[in-house]
Chain A
Amino acid sequence: MRTFVIAIAAALIALPAAAAEVQLKKADGVDKVEGNCAACHTLAYIPMNSPFLNAAGWTTEVTKMIKAFGAPIDDADAKTIADYLTKNYGT
């Protein structure tokens, strides 16, 4: 295990941290999405769940993250995030 940990450390130094992270579409609100959602889970969850959710569907997901999972996101950011997801990853 120690060898592995060292290998990881070396790899981290050699590569930009974002190399393995999904890049979201650049659009209004993407900073709020990256800043809030990525704290607990990969941003891959967003394209994974696309493009079949409508505005109500994405709002339900954002609300679930706050109410059920305790994500510390204020109301204004929650709306920005749901709007971004609907516009860029919704139907």
Chain B
Amino acid sequence: MITRRHLLATAGAGAALAVSGLPKFSESLAASVGTSPGVPEGVNSYVTMGTLPGKKPLIQLSDRPPNFESPIEYFRTPITPNDQFFVRYHLADIPEIKAENYKISVGGDGANGQVELTLDDLKKMPAVEVVAVNQCSGNRRGLSKPHVAGVEWGYGAMGCARWKGAKLKDVLDKVGLKKETIEISFNGADGPVVDKTPDFIKSIPVWKAIDESTIIAYEMNGAPLPHFNGFPARLVVPGWTGTYWMKHLITITALTKPLTGFWMNPAYRIPIGIFPIAQRFTSQEYAPNTPITEMVVNSLITSHRDGAKVSAGKVTVSGMAWDGGYGIRSVSVSTDGGKSWSSAALGQDLGRYALRPWSFDLTAKRGANTVMVNATNKIGQGQVSDLIFNGAGYHNNVMQNITLTA
């Protein structure tokens, strides 16, 4: 049942931690980690900063499988550097892939033919670049009230990179799709430890697969993808949550019937009708749930943590805003608990799928100063003041309300 690859992967993960600085069960270490306020108490009983090979220290929620989130300070630039980018895996058997051995096979009953592509084949195709946020569906799950089971992410299960690769549409054109094809499914090289555990396989509707911005990326911020972000190539589905961004992509299958399996249903689904979601995945809609699709509009204060000490007088509060690909129209800040709102200044626009910087100058008085932030996208959607509870803890875009003390 337990494969040899698994044992190797396990040894590697443990050793990586050992090399990086001996995480220990220690309160002082946990206190210095800077988990998001509101995560379950149990997280702070063991959490440490951990350093995976090729990465800077990240908040280590788990090592096997590796789930590491970025501290909020890593989001002070609209591009998240590769070595600061979060890591998320469901399954612990994660092979190291050599670029020269790498192949993607493309086929399925919805395709007219079959083809195998090497990394060089991909790189010979017309290349496109897109700056896009990759955010775990469960980002901020740990802040759900009440808490729900799962990986208890704070604010940092996200990042934004400049992705370069071949259009998925061009790859699909190499085999040709039948007109009755409804979904394209994806599998990565990583897999389960126990044979009976469902492999992580995901699909997207054809209309999203042939979108000009959906690519198979082999570069991230001008460099090869880090191993833990999907080397040699991964799917990039701008606007949609990370569950569809298959890492270590090895199989693309055109389907004439909806993909079944644990990771499509019951996993990664939201109740129909409770979120302002515009993009539907109709072939997978089975009431009362539907697959999660595009990200909801959201923002994050990155200049200060809740409870930070500041000097009285002018304080610049800044952060990032993003959404599911409509683009950010405005960011508003309130320093009186939401009674009145002022516009923040928006920073560099790297495209509608990117993190959008914002900043706001406020005058801090002696004592407690509250700061609330609300981003609005170009189709008029804003953040919520009260959590829209759902059992998986998805789509948490509650406005932050932090206190700065002068």
A interface with B by C-beta (< 8 Å): 1, 4, 7-9, 11-12, 14-15, 17, 19-23, 39-42, 44-53, 57, 60-61, 68-72, 89
Contact = CB atoms under 8 A, between A and B. Distances in A.
A70 to B, nearest CB: 3
Nearest to B147: A52
A55 B44 CA distance: 22
A84 B45 CA distance: 18
Contacts of B278: none
Interface in B33-74: 40-43, 45-46, 53, 61-65
Contact of B14 (A20, A52, A71): A20
Interface string B183-197: 000000000111111
B46 A7 contact: no
B12 interface: yes
A58 B198 CA distance: 21
Nearest to B45: A47
A49 B152 contact: yes
Contacts of B41: 50-51
B316 to A, nearest CB: 35
A89 B41 CA distance: 11
A14 to B, nearest CB: 8
A4 B51 CA distance: 14
- List 8 A-B pairs, minimum CB-CB distance, nearest first: A70-B196, A50-B42, A8-B15, A52-B147, A47-B42, A20-B17, A40-B193, A42-B64
Residue in B15, B149, B196 whose Cβ sees the most chain A Cβ within 10 Å: B15
A61 B149 contact: yes
Interface in B134-188: 146-147, 149-152
A9 B16 CA distance: 10
B46 A19 contact: no
Interface in B6-44: 11-19, 22-23, 25, 40-43
Interface string B74-107: 0000000000000000001000100000000000
Given A41-B92, A49-B42, A20 B198 contact: no
B2 interface: yes
Given A49-B40, A51-B41, 13 more contacts: A9-B15, A11-B18, A20-B63, A40-B92, A41-B65, A44-B62, A44-B63, A48-B40, A48-B61, A48-B62, A48-B152, A49-B42, A71-B194
Q: Interface residues of B toward A: which range?
A: 35 or more
Nearest to A49: B149
A58 to B, nearest CB: 9
Residue in A7, A12, A69 whose Cβ sees the most chain B Cβ within 10 Å: A69
Contacts of A19: 14, 17-18, 22
Nearest to B149: A49
Nearest to B263: A68
A4 B54 CA distance: 10
Contacts of A71: 194, 196-197
Given A8-B11, A15-B18, A69-B198, A39 B40 contact: no
B286 interface: no
B275 interface: no
16 contacts: A7-B15, A8-B19, A17-B14, A20-B14, A20-B23, A20-B63, A39-B2, A40-B193, A40-B197, A42-B64, A42-B65, A48-B62, A52-B147, A53-B149, A70-B198, A71-B197
Contacts of B147: 49, 52
B23 A72 contact: no
A52 B146 contact: yes
